[in-house]
């Protein structure tokens, strides 16, 4: 026996705990009308997961709970417990006994338990489906439903037969697969939508990355050209400074000696001609010329310095204009000053004192914050301040140029006075002329030496301008290429023969060639600035992340497409399996149906036929074709597939009756019983519940019914709810259900085997 017992507590009319044991193949439940015996069949539906309260003769959940009577209060819960013998592993659980229990409460709460552990309804359905058991169907035939299979539509009849054949599990899997396929298709649409959303951004980032890559190549080229240019420029400036310093030594030494001689000659001249007014005038004029010369040289240096500052400011203004709005150019000297400050507060590498290290780090952070705050204030002021500074420098330069012009004019006038006075003195032939001539010779030589030194100073000023340009180039190079450019001194330059050039050899090159290098550097810098500049690390990182996400989404789509294809194949296999199982089951049912039908009617024939109402569908299709609605045509084809059902064809002996509507009530009952028993024989369920299915049978047919019940009990346990004496006689145990004035159903039992033994 698979079914061991049924326990009811508070379920409908069974207010108290009531237990029915099933120890025989056939168990009969009898009792007067209204005693509650059919509630036992509904208890089976309830515990097996039936969700339709209407099928259990109720409207609400609380209608299934004992509602009380004058003698006994109502219950707040109802429970039904069903116990299976699972030694043959009827249910897919590795235990010898399985208990299913369902409990409902008046607040509409519900719970399911398997061996005392809470589970979901879905778990119950899956567990029972494997054992060919369901909450309703062919194995639970309640009162008034025996004729349902004959009155059902072809589609409903097909569903009943599919349930009897155990195809629900395949249908459930197919439905699950179809739902998964729908979710997969929806996910594919969402993933594809995400790819479409990020595609423009990736395209934009790709163009930015291409610009950055182009900029990198330009920077590599600029770095190589910069290294050559800076190396040669630094060598030229250094060697030129050394040459000027060497060339200044001889004139300065001679000028110092001449100053000494001039002082001596002037002393002699003053002693000899102390009262000579012309001599004094010459001396005064020379002193005045010397003063004008010094002032002119100072003004020339100042004008040259201002020209260098203006050129540097205009160059810096151009750099700031090409840079991003939030950039600030920091002079190299200030960066070097920051490094010196950090070096000043750094501790020894061998120092292990954590406090000193923390203090040092804190001080370095303060220095960095001060440096950052100082130059942050410069952001936004750069262009305006630079323009203002250039204007001020230009004004100063004009002022100094005007002063220089005045000094030059005064010096020219004084020189003319000197020439005129000298002409007068040359006419004099007294003895003091030798000393005077010596003074004139010394002063003339001094003028020549001063001219030489002035020329050297002009060259020195030019070198200062070149050095300023050189430092600005270094700053721009660091901003555009990076600190690697500062390693230009380590580069080796070679001539056409492969020989390494020394600094002196580099200065022999024509300056026009170096100027051409500078123009190339400027062109590359402009191209880099036009390309965007910067290292683009953030753009590259964002592009990589966006590209990785796009590739991930592409893999997701590929995986989803593969999953969708797998699900389609699975659905096709399940549909094929369903079709094969269904058609094979129909053949087996027809064989059993013919046997039972012949037994019931003493001959005749009966069979199930798979039908498709082609005429009506074809007419609908024709109408749709006239309208030209392809979508509606597809919907009609789907409807045609759904309309496929089961028709019942019967041929009674000695009667020309083939349509079901022409059968009498008794003939319909016999036909439905024969079909139900035939369905049960194909894949026998563990138990079958028949609730007064024999009510319409006469005595002769009741005997045939009893014989079929006994034959059916060889394959399934039978629980018979009946009033028929013939049916009762086939039972091993009879449970009698009575109801007293309290309205509570009570149970009495008779075991025929024990009764026979007692009677003997």
Each residue of 726-745: pLDDT tens digit?
888 889 899 999 988 888 98
Q: What is the pLDDT of residue 30?
A: 93
Given a contact cutoff of 8 angstroms between Cβ atoms, the answer to whether 617 and 640 are in contact is yes
Q: CA angle, corner 716, sides to 650 and 93, nearest 5?
A: 130
Q: How far is CA 108 from CA 15, 373, 549, in A?
A: 18, 70, 48
Q: Residue 582 and residue 646: Cα distance in Å, rounded?
A: 11
Residue 193 in this model has a pLDDT that exceeds 60: yes
Mean pLDDT value across residues 534-543: 74
Per the structure block, which two tokens stand in for 746?
């009570």
Confidence band, pLDDT 50/70/90 cuts, at residue 635: very low
- What whole-number distance in Å separates Cα of residue 511 and Cα of residue 508? 9
**Tell me, what's the pLDDT at 736?**
92
Residue 179 has pLDDT above 80, yes or no: yes
- Distance (Å) of CA 437 to CA 432, 434, 444: 9, 5, 10
At residue 274 the predicted structure's pLDDT band, cuts being 50, 70 and 90, is: very low
pLDDT tens string 692-716: 888 878 888 888 888 888 888 888 8
Confidence of residue 428 (pLDDT cuts 50, 70, 90): low
User: Which of 266-270, 304-308, 312-316, 611-615 tops mean pLDDT?
Assistant: 304-308
Average pLDDT, integer, range 209-219:
75
Instruction: For residues 261-265, give the mean pLDDT.
Output: 78
- Token pair belonging to 555: 């893999």
Per-residue pLDDT averaged across 259-274, rounded? 70
Give 228: exposed, middle or buried? Use CB within 10 Å, 0-12, 13-18, 19+.
middle
Q: Domains along the chain?
A: 1-133+685-704+714-760 (3.40.50.300)
631: pLDDT confidence band, cut at 50, 70 and 90?
very low
Q: How confident is the model at residue 630 (pLDDT cuts 50, 70, 90)?
A: very low
| Cβ-proximal residues to 505 (8 Å cutoff; 6+ apart), any chain | 495
For residue 88, what is the DSSP state?
T
Closest CA to 262 of 452, 441, 411: 441
Nearest to 685 by CA among 171, 150, 6, 136: 136
Q: Which residues have CB under 8 Å from 722's CB, separation 6+? A: 28, 29, 30, 690, 692, 694, 695, 728
**What pLDDT does 96 receive?**
92
Residue 617's pLDDT is what?
Answer: 44
Inform me whether the pLDDT recorded for 60 exceeds 50. Answer: yes
Residue 632 has pLDDT above 60, yes or no: no
Q: What single-letter DSSP state applies at residue 482?
A: -
- pLDDT-wise least confident of 129-138, 167-176, 662-671: 129-138
Q: Which residues pair with 648 in a beta bridge?
A: 608
Strand order in the sheet with 26-30: 140-141, 687-691, 717-721, 26-30, 733-739, 745-751
Name which of 4-18, 41-55, 453-467, 641-655 the model is least confident about: 641-655
User: What is the model's pLDDT at position 76?
Assistant: 92
The whole-number pLDDT of residue 135 equals: 55
472-523 per-position pLDDT tens digit: 877 777 776 767 776 666 666 666 566 667 666 676 677 777 777 778 777 7
Write down the H helix ranges in 481-536: 503-506, 511-531
> In the predicted model, what is the mean pLDDT of residues 631-655?
64
Q: Would the pLDDT of 350 be above 80?
A: no
3-state secondary structure of 513: helix
pLDDT in tens, 63-112: 899 988 888 888 999 999 999 999 988 888 999 999 999 999 998 889 99
**Per-residue DSSP letters for 374-399?**
HHHTTTTTHHHHHHHHHHHHHHHHHH
- Ramachandran angles phi, psi of 440, nearest 5°: -65, -40
Mean confidence (pLDDT) of the chain? 79
% of the chain surpassing 70 pLDDT = 80
State the pLDDT confidence band at 637, using cuts at 50, 70 and 90.
very low
Q: Per-residue pLDDT for 756 more than 60? A: no
User: For residue 253, what are the contacts with CB-CB under 8 A and spacing of at least 6?
Assistant: none
The pLDDT assigned to 618 comes to: 46
By the 8 A CB rule, do 732 and 1 touch? no
| Higher-confidence position of 660 and 724 | 724
Supply φ then ψ for residue 373, to 5 degrees: -65, -35
Q: What is the pLDDT of residue 757?
A: 60
Where does residue 459 rank: exposed (0-12), middle (13-18), buried (19+ CB within 10 A)?
middle
Query: How much is the pLDDT for 430?
Result: 55
For 538-571, b/e burial (b = at least 16 CB within 10 A) is ebeebbeebeeebeebeebbeebeebbeebeebb
Residue scoring higher pLDDT (372 or 490): 372
Contact in structure between 188 and 564 (CB atoms under 8 Å): yes
């Amino acid at each position: 026996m698979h079914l061991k017992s049924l326990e009811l507590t508070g379920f409908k009319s069974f207010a108290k705990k009531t237990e029915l044991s099933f120890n025989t193949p056939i168990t009969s439940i009898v009792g007067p009308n209204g005693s509650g015996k059919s509630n036992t069949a509904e208890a089976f539906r309830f515990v097996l997961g039936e969700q339709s309260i209407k099928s259990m003769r109720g409207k609400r959940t609380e209608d299934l709970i004992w509602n009380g009577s004058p003698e006994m209060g109502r219950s707040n819960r109802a429970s039904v417990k069903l116990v299976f013998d699972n030694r043959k592993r009827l249910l897919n659980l590795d235990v010898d006994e399985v208990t299913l229990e369902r409990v409902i409460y008046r607040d509409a709460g519900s719970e399911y338990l398997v061996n005392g552990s809470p589970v979901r309804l879905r778990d119950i359905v899956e567990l029972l489906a494997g054992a060919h058991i369901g909450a309703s169907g062919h194995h639970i035939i309640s009162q008034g439903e025996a004729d349902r299979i004959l009155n059902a539509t072809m589609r409903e009849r097909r569903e009943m037969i599919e349930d009897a054949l155990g195809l629900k599990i395949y249908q459930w899997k197919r439905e699950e697969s179809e739902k998964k396929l729908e979710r997969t298709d929806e996910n594919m649409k969402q993933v594809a939508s995400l790819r479409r959303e990020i595609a423009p951004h990736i395209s934009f980032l790709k163009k930015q990355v291409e610009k950055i890559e182009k900029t990198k190549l330009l920077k590599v080229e600029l770095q190589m050209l910069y290294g050559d240019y800076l190396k040669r420029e630094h060598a030229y400036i250094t060697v030129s400074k050394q040459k000027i310093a060497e060339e200044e030594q001889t004139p300065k030494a001679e000028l110092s000696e001449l100053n000494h001689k001039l002082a001596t000659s002037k002393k002699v001249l003053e002693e000899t001609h102390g009262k000579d007014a012309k001599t004094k005038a010459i001396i005064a004029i020379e002193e005045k010329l010397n003063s004008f010369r010094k002032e002119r040289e100072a003004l020339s240096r100042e004008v040259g310095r201002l020209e260098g500052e203006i050129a540097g400011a205009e160059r810096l203004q151009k750099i700031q204009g090409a840079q991003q709005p939030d950039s600030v150019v920091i002079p190299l000297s200030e960066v070097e000053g920051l490094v010196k400050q950090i070096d000043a507060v750094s501790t020894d590498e061998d120092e292990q004192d954590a406090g000193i290290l923390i203090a040092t780090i804190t001080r370095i952070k303060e220095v960095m914050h001060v440096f950052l705050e100082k130059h942050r204030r410069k952001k936004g002021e750069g262009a305006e301040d630079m323009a203002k500074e250039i204007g001020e420098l230009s004004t100063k330069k004009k002022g100094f140029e005007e002063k220089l012009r005045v000094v030059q004019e005064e010096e020219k006038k004084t020189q003319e006075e000197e020439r005129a006075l000298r002409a007068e003195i040359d006419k004099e032939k007294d003895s003091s002329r030798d000393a005077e001539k010596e003074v004139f010779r010394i002063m003339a030589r001094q003028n020549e030496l001063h001219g030489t030194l002035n020329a050297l100073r002009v060259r020195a000023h030019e070198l200062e301008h070149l050095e300023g340009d050189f430092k600005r180039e270094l700053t721009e190079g660091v901003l555009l290429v990076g600190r690697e450019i500062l390693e230009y001194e380590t580069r080796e330059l070679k001539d056409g023969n492969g020989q390494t050039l020394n600094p002196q050899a580099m200065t022999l090159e024509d300056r026009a060639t170096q100027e051409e290098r500078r123009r190339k550097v400027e062109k590359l810098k402009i191209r880099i600035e036009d390309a965007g500049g910067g290292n683009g690390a953030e753009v590259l990182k964002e592009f990589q992340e966006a590209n990785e996400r796009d590739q991930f989404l592409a893999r997701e789509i590929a995986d989803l497409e593969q999953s969708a294809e797998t699900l389609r194949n699975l659905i096709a296999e399940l549909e094929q399996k369903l079709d094969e199982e269904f058609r094979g089951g129909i053949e087996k049912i027809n064989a059993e149906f013919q046997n039972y039908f012949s037994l019931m009617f003493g001959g005749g024939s009966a069979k199930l036929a798979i039908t498709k109402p082609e005429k009506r569908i074809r007419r609908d299709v024709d109408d749709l074709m006239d309208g030209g609605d392809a979508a509606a045509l597809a919907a009609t084809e789907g409807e045609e597939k759904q309309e496929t059902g089961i028709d019942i064809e019967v041929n009674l002996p000695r009667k020309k009756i083939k349509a079901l509507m022409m059968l009498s009530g008794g003939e319909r009952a016999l036909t439905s019983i024969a079909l139900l028993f035939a369905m049960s024989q194909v894949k026998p369920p563990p138990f079958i519940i028949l609730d007064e299915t024999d009510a319409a049978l006469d005595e002769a047919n009741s005997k045939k019914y009893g014989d079929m019940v006994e034959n059916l009990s060889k394959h399934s346990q039978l629980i018979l709810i009946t009033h028929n004496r013939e049916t009762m006689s086939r039972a091993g145990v009879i449970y009698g259900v009575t109801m007293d004035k309290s309205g509570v159903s009570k149970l009495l039992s008779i075991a025929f085997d024990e009764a026979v033994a007692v009677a003997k």
